[in-house]
Structure 1
């Protein structure tokens, strides 16, 4: 069993963006086939075009289902949904591409639930195109939760020196503050704690951000949000034996986490957590969906319409997302 190579299902993302290019570049690394069995869910013809754009030397095999995959280095096995027209332009919002991106995720979720793949690794989709294609989800995280029948999940960003889990994500700041409450904070911390334990960190050290500047400064800033929404959850988990500290001022907490004082930072809203990770570089970050029954990792960048189709997209984040998927799937196995 220790020699088992996990099957990682890779969704192509929005075909008008850089997804096809970063997928091809990543799977051109033959050493990756020593660690996993990669299986793309997307459009074979688009991947062939991407291979030409990046001046690659791989071949693309169009297959109908996972049982037909061969997992040979130098050849990309693609479950070919055949949804992308040959003349689809790069760098433009397309409802066709948005719908196809959803169909890729839908198929990947079904494969994961059926046990045909061990993890999902997603290339970026475009939310405007997704909505234009008739699928009203804020993003991958919420979509996968719906497709797998899970009520609540969390987004965790993983960078070389920083891990951040979010209490709220794709909602406005006022809505986020209204949504934050002790139960949600508690469940988010518990999901993060469980994920790190599974990843081999036996006793995770968790730092929790405040909502207001200086974490409210004992009531000087805000309207008591820290006392009402965060502290009850922190105290409860401390009583249960978890190493949880906070709420702390976000600016100093991220600095301390970066130097190694904490294994995980709990951010209260989207930009509070995303900003510090992306300062480290888009190629370094990986998005992990926490709380699903299936493993899902993703690049931490968008479709990059401004450079799509030029063959110059960096695949660093995709490579890291694959490595995270492989590690999590191997540990689960």
Structure 2
């Protein structure tokens, strides 16, 4: 095992984050070094944990290593409090600092509740992706959802569907494809990634009959990038891109908006999907689900996505 651990941010303490982190540690403790950042009183009562002050002290596998970060208000499962919002934000920043400074190999973040952070601490970002972009100074971050079955990248993310056509520009799509291709080469170790681009409109516009973005500029942009040396094709009708035979022909699907990307991967592999942030100077993964307040504290949360997120972060850090 590498001496540097995967740093796990606690996320919203009233959600399932502490539970799935504890379960993931139990599943991976002999294979992946990790450290949990948060208030240990939020962990399930039966979790063995040990407080550490340095990421080098993570070799023991009989207790979850914890870098302690106390929160000001008591936590009741399923009921977030505004008083703890700033603590959630601070833990993310602390985790980024550990990876940036070289103390941790990668970052894995548990789910946050964006409205709680916005209302409780004035959080100014639509989500983790945009906040990590600001913390690391990255020009632009790109969100990928990845599993063994499929990798997808939404070009536009957390905006209303009505706003997508105006937000979707040639520069944005080109940059998304470029960042994705570079990350697949550098972090996923695919020397010549195959990229499939979805159309925006039904049937990829059907020659302009169902929308003109494909005809007016998407087709030309994809062709230009292919001429520049990328293995990129499209735009393809999104409704025929995600069956097994189609998926075998590409390594990643570039989609135009949030649900176009997330519906197929969550349908194909809901429990094992991992959120990966591309374009950052650090490795960051996250489980592909939310805080699940409705089941928090009941001990029934499925840790599979968190396990896969930690495993993938470790694998990427190892260059495997």
**TM-score when normalising by structure 1:** 0.91
In the TM superposition, what is the alpha-carbon distance from 1:200 to its structure 2 partner? Answer: 2.5
Report the aligned-residue RMSD.
1.7
Q: Counterpart of 1:46?
A: 42
Worse-superposed segment, 211-220 or 256-265: 256-265
Equivalent-residue separation in structure 2 for 1:76 and 1:107 (angstroms): 18
Contact 1:206 1:263 in 2 (8 A): yes
In the TM superposition, what is the alpha-carbon distance from 1:65 to its structure 2 partner? Answer: 4.4
Question: Does 2:84 match 1:97?
Answer: yes
Structure 1, unmatched stretches of 5+, are none
In the TM superposition, what is the alpha-carbon distance from 1:176 to its structure 2 partner? Answer: 2.1
Q: Counterpart of 2:152?
A: 164
Q: Counterpart of 1:206?
A: 195
Q: Counterpart of 2:239?
A: 251
Question: Does 2:49 match 1:60?
Answer: yes
Equivalent-residue separation in structure 1 for 2:150 and 2:189 (angstroms): 16
Equivalent-residue separation in structure 2 for 1:84 and 1:316 (angstroms): 30
Q: Secondary structure of the residue that 1:254 maps to in structure 2? A: coil
Equivalent-residue separation in structure 2 for 1:325 and 1:297 (angstroms): 6
Q: Secondary structure of the residue that 1:245 maps to in structure 2? A: strand
Equivalent-residue separation in structure 1 for 2:245 and 2:88 (angstroms): 35
1:37 to 33, 38, 47: 33
In the TM superposition, what is the alpha-carbon distance from 1:144 to its structure 2 partner? Answer: 0.5
Deviations 1:278-323 (A, max 9, x none): 1124311000000000000000000000000111100000010011
In the TM superposition, what is the alpha-carbon distance from 1:80 to its structure 2 partner? Answer: 0.9
Question: Does 2:166 match 1:175?
Answer: no
Structure 2, unmatched stretches of 5+, are none
Contact 1:208 1:248 in 2 (8 A): yes
In the TM superposition, what is the alpha-carbon distance from 1:71 to its structure 2 partner? Answer: 2.9
Q: Counterpart of 2:258?
A: 270
Q: 1:231 to 1:258 in 2, by over 3 A?
A: closer
Q: 1:261 to 1:316 in 2, by over 3 A?
A: same
Contact 1:180 1:229 in 2 (8 A): no
Deviations 1:181-229 (A, max 9, x none): 112111111121122223222221111001000000010012x112334
Question: Does 2:126 match 1:126?
Answer: no
Q: Secondary structure of the residue that 1:28 maps to in structure 2? A: helix
Equivalent-residue separation in structure 1 for 2:190 and 2:55 (angstroms): 33
Equivalent-residue separation in structure 2 for 1:132 and 1:258 (angstroms): 43
Equivalent-residue separation in structure 2 for 1:241 and 1:127 (angstroms): 39
2:180 to 192, 195, 204: 192
Contact 2:199 2:256 in 1 (8 A): yes
Q: 1:15 to 1:182 in 2, by over 3 A?
A: same
Deviations 1:62-96 (A, max 9, x none): 234435x33311211111110153x3211123213
2:302 to 278, 289, 314: 314
Q: Counterpart of 1:149?
A: 137
Worse-superposed segment, 13-22 or 121-130: 121-130
In the TM superposition, what is the alpha-carbon distance from 1:258 to its structure 2 partner? Answer: 5.8
Q: Counterpart of 2:271?
A: 283
Question: Does 2:219 match 1:221?
Answer: no
Equivalent-residue separation in structure 2 for 1:130 and 1:317 (angstroms): 23
1:113 to 66, 86, 100: 100
Contact 1:33 1:71 in 2 (8 A): no
Equivalent-residue separation in structure 2 for 1:102 and 1:257 (angstroms): 42
1:28 to 1, 26, 29: 26
Contact 1:182 1:231 in 2 (8 A): no
Q: Counterpart of 2:17?
A: 19
Q: Counterpart of 1:10?
A: 8
